[in-house]
Each structure stands twice: as structure tokens, then as C-alpha cells.
Amino acid sequence: MKNDVNRQFRLKSRPSGRIKTSDFDLVREPLPEPGPGEALVRVVYLSLDPTNRIWMSDMDQYMPPVELGEVMRGGGIGVVVKSNSPRYKAGDHVSGLTGWQDYCIADEGARAMSVLPQGLPVPLTAMLGACGMTGLTAYFGLLELGKPKPGETVVVSAAAGAVGSVVGQIAKIKGCRAVGIAGGPEKCRFITEELGFDAAIDYKRPDWKERLAEATPNGIDVNFENVGGEIMEAVMARMNLFSRMPLCGMISGYNTDQPMRADYSPILMRRITVRGFIVVDFMEKFAEGAMQLAQWVAEGKIRHRETIVDGLEAAPTAVNKLFDGENIGKLIVKVADPASL
Ligand SMILES: NC(=O)c1ccc[n+]([C@@H]2O[C@H](COP(=O)([O-])OP(=O)(O)OC[C@H]3O[C@@H](n4cnc5c(N)ncnc54)[C@H](OP(=O)(O)O)[C@@H]3O)[C@@H](O)[C@H]2O)c1
């Protein structure tokens, strides 16, 4: 084995505000030995997600927070290097909760990982983004909760990111008008020129609310909410009677302890259906969603981009790109070169 040390980021302190490298201990452990029914997995790609910030905190959340001293929780893709389980064989690509480390143990129970099919028609990294958890978040949040109909207007915030970029493209596939809200001209060009959104609103421009009004002349039927705060409030103010708002995320509040405030009166006046969700709520339908997404990606109906950062050691600083808007598409850390394994 080329590397007999397992580097791990263990949570040392709960971040206050932005995540700092000093919130983690980088420890070096001997490689874990897989027991009966277990496999040793070399982590190849690590998914960086806004929810990492939530897991680091002890706020009320949908999973237990990461304990101090525990390996930082994170999704990823790896290659099985050694197996004592019939579920995994050496060389298999697997995805699941790898953690922020070089190696992890997969088992057949609580630490089970999904074995990816051989000969995927999409790059491995797409299995973390457009065809993975973020794509599934877009797919189920928009279709099951947003229920978009042809001709309706769908607005999505953080539109050039992993989830938002897929939401707008599915809206187009379903015959809707897709309007994305994103920070800066490069992201706005990306979603209109490369992804086919009908309009992009740069919320960093002072006149962005007027531009949102111009881009949504018939009001808004579905607001796929990723950001919260001022952006959510401005979009809600333009939502139609009996419109729908899948509440996917509120990233503008993750680095602060302050409660998020907004004018919620449109929910009453326009009878908006607001539904918070976590992608795992749709776990039973994941296979169906992943197959549809992979088909759309393979057919070129969904385009995807990744921002890939090199090296496990970069994870604690790279995760801040999500909060600084420095990623386009899915943010990934390349932990090891899959070709070298
Ligand atoms: N419910 C679920 O199961 C689930 C699953 C996955 C993700 N999510 C949520 O979906 C949202 C997007 O996640 P993602 O993984 O796709 O990340 P992402 O969109 O790829 O990256 C985050 C983006 O959010 C924008 N952003 C950050 N801070 C902001 C602020 N204060 N105001 C406005 N925009 C801000 C930035 O884009 P700009 O440059 O455009 O500002 C940044 O690039 C997050 O809220 C996340 O928590 C929910």
C-alpha cells in the first residue's frame, strides 16, 4: 500500500463565524484494519457542502452534531482497497460518508456505503454533484415539492452552485421559465449562456430587485430557496397565489448565531406552500432519481461543472469557498488520484 498513514481532520472547537483551520486537529493514525464484514476504503473525492458548517455547530439540526474530537463528517467517493465483506470487492468505487480523512472503514450496517456501478456514463465526480446528493436534492425538491407546471416561472437562489444549477436545468426540461439569482457577472453568464436559464439576477448589483421584477413579469410560481434572508424575502414578495416554496437551505445564516428574519406575510396573503426538506426524506426513491439525472447528464440535457481543490489538507479552508461564493458548481476536494490506485 502506497500510504500507510491515515490523516484525519478531527473537530477541535465549534467555529464561531467563519470556519478556521484551527477549529481542527490534523492527526495521523495508522491505517485501520477492516474486521469481519468490513472493507478498507481509500478516499478519492470529498464533497464539501454548506451542511458541513451546520454539523460543526451544536444548533438544533437534522443529524447529531459532530462531537468534539470526532473525525469531521463528510460525504465522499472512495476505492475499496481491502475487503472482508461480500458486499465490497477490491477496486469497487463506493460513495457515502467517508469523513475528512484519507481512509475509512465501510461495513454492512451503520457505516455501509453504496457500491457505484462499473462503467458509469458520467465522470466519477458527477456522482457527488449532478448525479449525486446535490443533484438528488434539486430533483426531489423541485419536482416533488415545487411541482412545476409547463409555462410557470421557477426562481432559484445560489443558482450557479451545485444544487441551484441543476434546479434551473430541470425547470427548463419541464417547460418552465427558469430565473437564477447568483453573485457576480461570471456566474450569471454561466447559468444563462452555458446552462440555458432564461434570466440571471446578480444580487450584488444595487438594482437587483428591479431586475428580478423585470425577469418575472408573471410573478413567481416556484421559489427553490437556498439562501434565506433578504433574497428569500425579495423573492417571496413576488410569489403568486397558491405558489410553492421548497425550502432547501438558508446559507446566508449558517455563519451566524443570529436568527434569520424576513417578512413572512406573503405566505398568508398569497397562500404559499412552504415545505422544508432534507434530501434523505426521499431516500426510497434515490435510485429512480439518480437514473433520471444520469440519463439527462449523458444526453447533455443537464450540464455540470465542478470546482476541484487539491489535497485533503485544503478541506478546512476550501469549505469557506461556499460562503465566499468562490465555487461554481459542485465543490470537491481531490484527496487521491483515482488513476493511481
Ligand atoms: N435540504 C437538503 O437536503 C440540502 C442538500 C444540499 C444542499 N442544501 C442547501 O442548498 C444550498 C446550496 O447548497 P450547495 O451545496 O448547492 O452549495 P453551492 O450553491 O454550490 O455553494 C454555495 C453558494 O451559496 C452562495 N452564497 C453563500 N453565502 C451567501 C449569502 N450570504 N448570500 C447569498 N448567496 C450566498 C454562493 O454563491 P453566490 O456567489 O451566488 O453568492 C455560494 O457559491 C445551501 O443552503 C445548502 O445548505 C440542502
pLDDT digits (tens, 9 = 90+) for 269-283: 999 999 999 999 999
User: Does pLDDT of 2 surpass 60?
Assistant: no
Tell me: the pLDDT tens digits for 134-177? 999 999 999 999 999 999 999 999 999 999 999 999 999 999 99
How many A from CA of 227 to the centre of ligand 1? 6
Query: What is the average pLDDT across 322-340?
Result: 95
Grouping H, G, I as helix, E, B as strand and the rest as coil, residue 46 is strand
Query: What is the average pLDDT across 38-65?
Result: 97
Give the rounded percent of residues in the chain with a pLDDT score beyond 70.
99
Atom number, ligand 1, closest to the C-alpha of residue 184 = 39
Q: Which domains does the chain have, with CATH numbers?
A: 5-127+305-340 (3.90.180.10), 133-280 (3.40.50.720)
Res 3: pLDDT: 60
* Full DSSP string of 206-269: TTHHHHHHHH-TT-EEEEEBSS-HHHHHHHHTTEEEEEEEEE---GGGTT--SPP----HHHHH
Res 262: pLDDT: 92
Residue nearest ligand 1's atom 39 by CA? 325
Q: Is the CB of 179 under 6 A from ligand 1?
A: no
Res 340: pLDDT: 77
User: Does pLDDT of 121 surpass 90?
Assistant: no
Q: Is the CB of 164 under 6 A from ligand 1?
A: yes
Query: What is the average pLDDT across 171-191?
Result: 98
**Average pLDDT in the chain:** 96
Residues 194, 204 contacting (CB under 8 angstroms):
no
Q: Is the CB of 228 under 6 A from ligand 1?
A: no
Residue nearest ligand 1's atom 6 by CA? 134
Res 259: pLDDT: 85
